[in-house]
Amino acid sequence: MVGLISQSEKYSKELDVAVRAVQIACSLRNKVQTNLISEDCNSSSVTVAGWSVKAIISWILCGCLGGENISILAEEDVVQTLSKPNATELLETVVKIVNECLDEAPKFGFEAPKSALETSEVLEIISHCNSIGGPSGRFWSLGFVSGDQYAVALSLMEDGEVVVGVLGCPNYPMRKDWLSYQQSYHKIVSKLISPTSETWNEGCVIYAKKGSGKAWIQPVIHFNKKFVWPNHAKQVSVSSIDNLGLATFCQSVEEANSSHSFTDGLAHSVGLSNKPLRVYSMMKYAAIACGDAEVFMKFARTGCKEKIWDHAAGVIIIQEAGGTVTDVRGSSLDFSKGSYLQGIDRGIVACAGATLHEKIIDAVDASWASSCL
Protein backbone atom coordinates (compact mmCIF):
# COMPACT_ATOMS: atom_id res chain seq x y z
CA MET A 1 0.00 0.00 0.00
CA VAL A 2 1.14 3.54 -0.75
CA GLY A 3 2.44 5.34 2.32
CA LEU A 4 3.67 2.28 4.15
CA ILE A 5 7.35 2.23 5.09
CA SER A 6 9.23 -1.04 4.60
CA GLN A 7 10.96 -2.55 7.61
CA SER A 8 14.37 -1.88 6.08
CA GLU A 9 13.54 1.82 5.64
CA LYS A 10 11.90 2.30 9.04
CA TYR A 11 13.81 4.74 11.24
CA SER A 12 16.36 5.37 8.46
CA LYS A 13 15.69 9.11 8.34
CA GLU A 14 15.78 9.44 12.10
CA LEU A 15 19.06 7.53 12.26
CA ASP A 16 20.66 9.63 9.52
CA VAL A 17 19.70 12.89 11.24
CA ALA A 18 20.81 11.61 14.63
CA VAL A 19 24.24 10.52 13.35
CA ARG A 20 24.95 13.91 11.79
CA ALA A 21 23.66 15.73 14.89
CA VAL A 22 25.96 13.71 17.15
CA GLN A 23 28.87 14.40 14.77
CA ILE A 24 28.39 18.14 15.30
CA ALA A 25 27.98 17.68 19.06
CA CYS A 26 31.24 15.70 19.21
CA SER A 27 33.17 18.31 17.28
CA LEU A 28 32.11 21.21 19.48
CA ARG A 29 34.31 20.13 22.39
CA ASN A 30 37.30 22.08 21.04
CA LYS A 31 35.18 25.21 20.74
CA VAL A 32 34.08 24.78 24.36
CA GLN A 33 37.67 24.52 25.56
CA THR A 34 38.49 27.72 23.67
CA ASN A 35 35.49 29.64 24.99
CA LEU A 36 35.31 28.54 28.63
CA ILE A 37 35.17 31.65 30.75
CA SER A 38 36.18 30.30 34.15
CA GLU A 39 37.08 27.16 36.05
CA ASP A 40 33.64 27.29 37.65
CA CYS A 41 32.20 25.94 34.39
CA ASN A 42 34.06 22.67 34.91
CA SER A 43 32.85 22.24 38.48
CA SER A 44 29.21 22.83 37.55
CA SER A 45 26.94 19.76 37.50
CA VAL A 46 25.94 20.75 33.99
CA THR A 47 28.80 22.15 31.90
CA VAL A 48 28.73 24.72 29.15
CA ALA A 49 29.42 21.85 26.77
CA GLY A 50 26.37 19.99 28.05
CA TRP A 51 24.09 22.98 27.54
CA SER A 52 25.51 23.56 24.08
CA VAL A 53 25.00 19.91 23.12
CA LYS A 54 21.36 20.04 24.21
CA ALA A 55 20.75 23.17 22.15
CA ILE A 56 22.44 21.85 19.01
CA ILE A 57 20.82 18.42 19.12
CA SER A 58 17.40 19.95 19.77
CA TRP A 59 17.77 22.52 16.97
CA ILE A 60 18.74 19.85 14.44
CA LEU A 61 16.04 17.37 15.42
CA CYS A 62 13.34 20.05 15.32
CA GLY A 63 14.57 21.41 12.01
CA CYS A 64 14.88 18.06 10.22
CA LEU A 65 12.02 16.16 11.83
CA GLY A 66 9.76 19.15 12.31
CA GLY A 67 6.63 17.23 11.38
CA GLU A 68 6.90 15.46 14.69
CA ASN A 69 6.47 16.79 18.20
CA ILE A 70 10.13 16.64 19.22
CA SER A 71 10.61 15.90 22.90
CA ILE A 72 13.93 15.08 24.53
CA LEU A 73 14.63 13.40 27.85
CA ALA A 74 17.87 14.78 29.30
CA GLU A 75 19.55 15.21 32.64
CA GLU A 76 18.48 18.58 33.99
CA ASP A 77 16.10 21.48 33.55
CA VAL A 78 18.76 23.61 31.92
CA VAL A 79 16.35 26.39 30.96
CA GLN A 80 15.63 27.03 34.63
CA THR A 81 19.36 26.88 35.43
CA LEU A 82 20.41 29.19 32.61
CA SER A 83 17.63 31.68 33.39
CA LYS A 84 19.07 32.47 36.83
CA PRO A 85 20.63 35.94 37.21
CA ASN A 86 24.09 34.53 38.06
CA ALA A 87 24.11 32.43 34.87
CA THR A 88 24.28 35.38 32.46
CA GLU A 89 27.93 34.92 31.56
CA LEU A 90 27.52 31.17 31.12
CA LEU A 91 24.51 31.69 28.91
CA GLU A 92 26.40 34.15 26.72
CA THR A 93 29.11 31.53 26.24
CA VAL A 94 26.55 28.85 25.36
CA VAL A 95 24.89 31.11 22.77
CA LYS A 96 28.29 31.92 21.22
CA ILE A 97 29.30 28.25 20.96
CA VAL A 98 25.92 27.16 19.60
CA ASN A 99 26.05 29.77 16.84
CA GLU A 100 29.63 28.88 15.93
CA CYS A 101 28.72 25.22 15.62
CA LEU A 102 25.51 25.79 13.68
CA ASP A 103 27.47 27.91 11.20
CA GLU A 104 29.20 24.63 10.30
CA ALA A 105 25.89 22.77 9.85
CA PRO A 106 25.98 22.86 5.99
CA LYS A 107 29.11 20.68 6.07
CA PHE A 108 26.91 17.98 7.57
CA GLY A 109 24.04 18.45 5.14
CA PHE A 110 21.94 20.74 7.35
CA GLU A 111 20.81 24.29 6.73
CA ALA A 112 22.44 26.87 8.97
CA PRO A 113 20.23 29.44 10.74
CA LYS A 114 19.46 32.42 8.52
CA SER A 115 20.88 34.67 11.23
CA ALA A 116 22.64 34.17 14.54
CA LEU A 117 20.36 32.77 17.22
CA GLU A 118 19.43 35.15 20.01
CA THR A 119 19.56 34.18 23.69
CA SER A 120 15.79 33.73 23.86
CA GLU A 121 15.88 31.44 20.82
CA VAL A 122 18.58 29.24 22.35
CA LEU A 123 16.56 28.93 25.55
CA GLU A 124 13.47 28.05 23.52
CA ILE A 125 15.38 25.34 21.67
CA ILE A 126 16.71 23.85 24.90
CA SER A 127 13.17 23.82 26.32
CA HIS A 128 12.45 20.80 24.11
CA CYS A 129 14.56 18.82 26.61
CA ASN A 130 11.46 18.44 28.76
CA SER A 131 10.33 14.86 28.24
CA ILE A 132 9.60 12.68 31.25
CA GLY A 133 9.85 9.48 29.22
CA GLY A 134 7.39 6.66 29.77
CA PRO A 135 5.87 3.59 28.10
CA SER A 136 4.00 5.26 25.25
CA GLY A 137 4.67 7.65 22.41
CA ARG A 138 7.96 8.80 20.91
CA PHE A 139 10.76 10.77 22.52
CA TRP A 140 14.52 11.16 22.26
CA SER A 141 16.95 10.39 25.07
CA LEU A 142 20.13 12.47 25.27
CA GLY A 143 23.10 11.65 27.48
CA PHE A 144 26.32 13.60 27.75
CA VAL A 145 29.54 13.48 29.75
CA SER A 146 32.37 16.00 29.49
CA GLY A 147 36.07 16.22 30.24
CA ASP A 148 38.30 13.25 29.39
CA GLN A 149 35.15 11.10 29.21
CA TYR A 150 33.57 13.31 26.55
CA ALA A 151 30.78 11.32 24.94
CA VAL A 152 27.32 11.94 23.50
CA ALA A 153 24.55 9.34 23.47
CA LEU A 154 21.38 9.97 21.48
CA SER A 155 18.58 7.43 21.18
CA LEU A 156 15.04 7.39 19.88
CA MET A 157 12.46 5.69 22.08
CA GLU A 158 9.13 4.46 20.76
CA ASP A 159 6.52 3.04 23.13
CA GLY A 160 9.17 2.37 25.75
CA GLU A 161 11.59 0.62 23.40
CA VAL A 162 14.89 1.83 21.94
CA VAL A 163 14.66 1.96 18.13
CA VAL A 164 17.67 4.14 17.21
CA GLY A 165 20.97 4.56 19.03
CA VAL A 166 24.00 6.76 18.31
CA LEU A 167 27.14 6.98 20.46
CA GLY A 168 29.66 9.73 19.81
CA CYS A 169 33.05 9.08 21.44
CA PRO A 170 35.66 11.69 20.38
CA ASN A 171 38.22 10.28 22.82
CA TYR A 172 37.77 6.66 21.73
CA PRO A 173 40.52 5.77 19.24
CA MET A 174 39.73 4.31 15.87
CA ARG A 175 42.85 2.16 16.21
CA LYS A 176 42.52 -0.71 18.68
CA ASP A 177 46.23 -0.69 19.58
CA TRP A 178 45.78 2.76 21.16
CA LEU A 179 43.25 1.48 23.68
CA SER A 180 45.88 0.22 26.12
CA TYR A 181 47.33 3.69 26.60
CA GLN A 182 46.22 5.82 29.51
CA GLN A 183 44.38 9.10 29.00
CA SER A 184 47.39 11.09 30.28
CA TYR A 185 49.50 9.66 27.46
CA HIS A 186 46.73 10.42 25.01
CA LYS A 187 46.78 14.09 26.06
CA ILE A 188 50.54 14.36 25.53
CA VAL A 189 50.43 12.70 22.11
CA SER A 190 47.48 14.88 21.07
CA LYS A 191 49.60 17.99 21.63
CA LEU A 192 52.60 16.59 19.77
CA ILE A 193 50.86 15.19 16.69
CA SER A 194 48.79 17.15 14.19
CA PRO A 195 45.04 16.53 14.65
CA THR A 196 44.80 16.02 10.89
CA SER A 197 46.83 12.81 11.13
CA GLU A 198 45.53 9.32 11.82
CA THR A 199 45.82 9.62 15.61
CA TRP A 200 43.81 8.94 18.73
CA ASN A 201 42.12 12.31 18.17
CA GLU A 202 39.95 10.91 15.41
CA GLY A 203 37.37 9.41 17.77
CA CYS A 204 34.32 7.59 16.48
CA VAL A 205 30.56 7.70 16.09
CA ILE A 206 28.91 4.29 16.28
CA TYR A 207 25.24 3.67 15.58
CA ALA A 208 22.41 1.22 14.83
CA LYS A 209 18.66 0.98 14.40
CA LYS A 210 16.21 -1.65 15.55
CA GLY A 211 15.89 -4.76 13.43
CA SER A 212 18.74 -4.03 11.03
CA GLY A 213 21.12 -6.63 12.45
CA LYS A 214 23.94 -4.19 11.73
CA ALA A 215 25.96 -1.56 13.57
CA TRP A 216 28.16 1.02 11.90
CA ILE A 217 31.16 3.13 12.86
CA GLN A 218 32.67 6.26 11.34
CA PRO A 219 35.41 8.67 12.48
CA VAL A 220 34.49 11.91 14.20
CA ILE A 221 34.64 14.84 11.80
CA HIS A 222 36.53 17.87 13.07
CA PHE A 223 35.50 21.40 12.15
CA ASN A 224 39.03 22.30 11.12
CA LYS A 225 39.07 19.65 8.38
CA LYS A 226 37.75 19.90 4.85
CA PHE A 227 35.24 17.17 4.12
CA VAL A 228 32.11 16.38 2.19
CA TRP A 229 29.19 14.53 3.78
CA PRO A 230 28.42 11.61 3.88
CA ASN A 231 31.27 10.50 6.06
CA HIS A 232 32.99 7.15 5.53
CA ALA A 233 31.43 4.35 7.58
CA LYS A 234 32.07 0.65 8.00
CA GLN A 235 30.10 -2.12 9.63
CA VAL A 236 31.21 -3.46 13.00
CA SER A 237 30.26 -6.57 14.93
CA VAL A 238 30.99 -8.08 18.30
CA SER A 239 33.92 -10.43 18.82
CA SER A 240 33.52 -14.11 17.96
CA ILE A 241 35.42 -15.18 21.10
CA ASP A 242 33.25 -17.38 23.32
CA ASN A 243 35.98 -18.72 25.62
CA LEU A 244 36.23 -16.82 28.91
CA GLY A 245 39.94 -17.61 29.08
CA LEU A 246 40.49 -15.63 25.90
CA ALA A 247 37.96 -12.86 26.53
CA THR A 248 38.78 -9.29 27.56
CA PHE A 249 36.84 -7.65 30.37
CA CYS A 250 35.89 -4.01 29.80
CA GLN A 251 36.17 -2.14 33.10
CA SER A 252 35.17 1.34 34.16
CA VAL A 253 37.94 3.86 34.77
CA GLU A 254 35.81 5.66 37.34
CA GLU A 255 34.75 3.94 40.59
CA ALA A 256 32.25 6.50 41.85
CA ASN A 257 29.08 4.45 41.40
CA SER A 258 30.18 0.90 40.63
CA SER A 259 32.06 -1.83 42.49
CA HIS A 260 35.47 -2.62 41.02
CA SER A 261 36.27 -5.09 43.78
CA PHE A 262 33.32 -7.33 42.97
CA THR A 263 33.80 -7.22 39.19
CA ASP A 264 37.54 -7.81 39.57
CA GLY A 265 36.92 -10.82 41.79
CA LEU A 266 34.24 -12.14 39.48
CA ALA A 267 36.45 -11.73 36.42
CA HIS A 268 39.20 -13.70 38.14
CA SER A 269 36.84 -16.46 39.30
CA VAL A 270 35.53 -17.14 35.80
CA GLY A 271 38.97 -17.15 34.21
CA LEU A 272 39.11 -13.71 32.59
CA SER A 273 42.90 -13.60 32.68
CA ASN A 274 43.54 -10.90 30.06
CA LYS A 275 44.41 -7.43 31.28
CA PRO A 276 41.14 -5.47 31.68
CA LEU A 277 40.40 -2.76 29.13
CA ARG A 278 39.87 0.45 31.12
CA VAL A 279 37.33 2.62 29.30
CA TYR A 280 35.35 5.67 30.35
CA SER A 281 31.58 6.05 30.65
CA MET A 282 29.40 5.11 27.66
CA MET A 283 32.47 4.12 25.64
CA LYS A 284 32.28 0.64 27.23
CA TYR A 285 29.31 -0.12 24.98
CA ALA A 286 31.33 0.96 21.95
CA ALA A 287 34.20 -1.33 23.02
CA ILE A 288 31.93 -4.39 23.08
CA ALA A 289 30.13 -3.53 19.83
CA CYS A 290 33.43 -2.95 17.98
CA GLY A 291 34.91 -6.25 19.16
CA ASP A 292 37.63 -4.57 21.24
CA ALA A 293 36.39 -6.37 24.37
CA GLU A 294 33.96 -9.21 25.08
CA VAL A 295 32.51 -8.60 28.56
CA PHE A 296 31.22 -5.55 30.43
CA MET A 297 29.59 -5.70 33.86
CA LYS A 298 28.23 -2.91 36.02
CA PHE A 299 26.95 -3.43 39.54
CA ALA A 300 25.83 -0.13 41.03
CA ARG A 301 26.60 0.73 44.61
CA THR A 302 23.67 0.91 47.01
CA GLY A 303 21.51 3.95 46.35
CA CYS A 304 22.79 4.58 42.81
CA LYS A 305 20.22 4.60 40.02
CA GLU A 306 20.96 3.92 36.37
CA LYS A 307 19.77 6.68 34.04
CA ILE A 308 18.33 5.56 30.74
CA TRP A 309 20.31 8.06 28.67
CA ASP A 310 23.55 6.40 29.84
CA HIS A 311 22.51 3.01 28.45
CA ALA A 312 19.80 3.19 25.77
CA ALA A 313 22.01 3.95 22.76
CA GLY A 314 24.71 1.50 23.81
CA VAL A 315 22.27 -1.35 24.37
CA ILE A 316 20.72 -1.25 20.91
CA ILE A 317 24.12 -0.86 19.26
CA ILE A 318 25.50 -3.97 20.98
CA GLN A 319 22.34 -5.95 20.24
CA GLU A 320 22.34 -5.06 16.54
CA ALA A 321 26.07 -5.82 16.38
CA GLY A 322 25.32 -9.35 17.59
CA GLY A 323 25.81 -9.05 21.34
CA THR A 324 23.62 -9.47 24.41
CA VAL A 325 22.72 -7.00 27.18
CA THR A 326 20.49 -7.87 30.15
CA ASP A 327 20.35 -7.63 33.91
CA VAL A 328 21.70 -10.51 36.01
CA ARG A 329 18.36 -12.30 35.81
CA GLY A 330 18.72 -12.32 32.04
CA SER A 331 15.86 -9.87 31.59
CA SER A 332 15.94 -7.07 29.04
CA LEU A 333 16.52 -3.58 30.41
CA ASP A 334 13.29 -1.62 30.83
CA PHE A 335 13.42 1.87 29.32
CA SER A 336 9.71 2.59 29.76
CA LYS A 337 9.64 3.93 33.32
CA GLY A 338 10.89 7.50 32.97
CA SER A 339 14.39 8.78 33.62
CA TYR A 340 15.70 5.71 35.43
CA LEU A 341 16.00 2.03 34.62
CA GLN A 342 13.62 0.22 36.93
CA GLY A 343 13.58 -3.36 38.17
CA ILE A 344 17.22 -4.16 37.42
CA ASP A 345 18.23 -7.41 39.10
CA ARG A 346 21.59 -6.58 40.73
CA GLY A 347 23.38 -5.17 37.71
CA ILE A 348 23.94 -4.97 33.96
CA VAL A 349 25.85 -7.56 31.95
CA ALA A 350 26.86 -6.98 28.32
CA CYS A 351 28.64 -9.69 26.34
CA ALA A 352 29.81 -10.37 22.82
CA GLY A 353 27.59 -13.44 22.57
CA ALA A 354 25.08 -15.70 24.29
CA THR A 355 27.67 -18.27 25.42
CA LEU A 356 29.79 -15.76 27.32
CA HIS A 357 26.68 -14.09 28.67
CA GLU A 358 25.31 -17.31 30.16
CA LYS A 359 28.63 -18.09 31.85
CA ILE A 360 28.86 -14.61 33.39
CA ILE A 361 25.27 -14.74 34.63
CA ASP A 362 25.89 -18.10 36.30
CA ALA A 363 29.08 -16.79 37.92
CA VAL A 364 27.33 -13.71 39.32
CA ASP A 365 24.64 -15.90 40.88
CA ALA A 366 27.28 -18.09 42.48
CA SER A 367 29.29 -15.15 43.89
CA TRP A 368 26.57 -12.70 44.86
CA ALA A 369 25.75 -14.01 48.32
CA SER A 370 29.30 -13.42 49.50
CA SER A 371 29.53 -9.90 48.10
CA CYS A 372 28.88 -6.73 50.05
CA LEU A 373 26.66 -5.13 47.39
pLDDT in tens, 275-304: 888 887 788 999 999 999 999 988 877 778
Percentage of the residues of the chain whose pLDDT score is greater than 70: 76
Does residue 183 sit in the same domain as residue 295?
Answer: no
| Cα–Cα distance measured from residue 350 to residue 324, given in angstroms and rounded to the nearest whole number | 6
State which residues of the chain have pLDDT below 70.
Answer: 1-7, 30, 32-47, 67, 77-83, 147-148, 174-201, 223-228, 254-260, 369-373
Residue 242 lies in a domain: no
Tell whether 339 and 364 lie within a shared domain: yes
- Could you tell me if residue 243 is inside a domain? no
Taking alpha carbons only, the member of 284, 294, 238, 34 closest to residue 145 is: 284
Is position 202 within any domain? yes
Please give the angle made by the CA atoms of 315, 13 and 228, to the nearest 5 degrees. 100
> What are the residues whose beta carbons fall under 8 Å from the beta carbon of 7, sequence distance 6 or more?
211
Count of C-beta atoms within a 10 Å radius of residue 79: 18
Cβ proximity of 263 and 297 under 8 Å = yes
Which pLDDT tens digit goes with each residue over 190-220? Answer: 555 544 444 445 789 999 999 999 999 998 8
To the question of whether residue 77 is assigned a binding role by annotation, the answer is no
C-alpha 92/C-alpha 201 separation (Å) is 28
pLDDT tens digits along 324-361: 999 999 999 999 999 999 889 888 999 999 999 999 89
Quote the pLDDT of residue 197.
Answer: 46
Q: Are residues 222 and 351 in the same domain?
A: no
29 assigned to some structural domain: yes
Instruction: Pick the last residue of a domain from 179, 209, 236.
Output: 236
What's the pLDDT score for residue 259? 60
What's the pLDDT at 2?
41
Domain shared by 275 and 223, yes or no: no
Is residue 7 one of the residues assigned to a domain?
no
Q: Burial code of 104-115, b = ≥16 C-beta within 10 A, e = fewer?
A: bbebbebeeeee
Sheet holding 277-279, edge to edge: 277-279, 249-252, 295-298, 348-351, 324-327
Regarding whether 84 and 114 lie in a shared domain, the answer is: yes
Domain membership of residue 344 as a residue range: 249-368
Of 13, 11, 287, the C-alpha closest to 161 is 11
Does residue 41 sit in the same domain as residue 143?
yes
Same domain (yes/no): 22, 55 = yes
State the CATH number of the domain containing residue 227. 3.30.540.10
Claim to verify: residue 259 and residue 230 sit in the same structural domain: no
Q: What is the domain count for the chain?
A: 2
Inside any domain, residue 3: no
Residues 223 and 261 grouped into a single domain: no
- Evaluate if pTM is beyond 0.95: no
Q: What is the CATH number of the domain that holds 277?
A: 3.40.190.80
Same domain flag for 33 and 151: yes
Do residue 32 and residue 173 come from a single domain?
A: yes
Residues 175 and 295 in one domain: no
Asked which of 207, 236, 265 is the last residue of a domain, the reply is 236
pLDDT score recorded for residue 149: 73
Instruction: Report whether 219 contacts 174 (CB < 8 A).
Output: yes
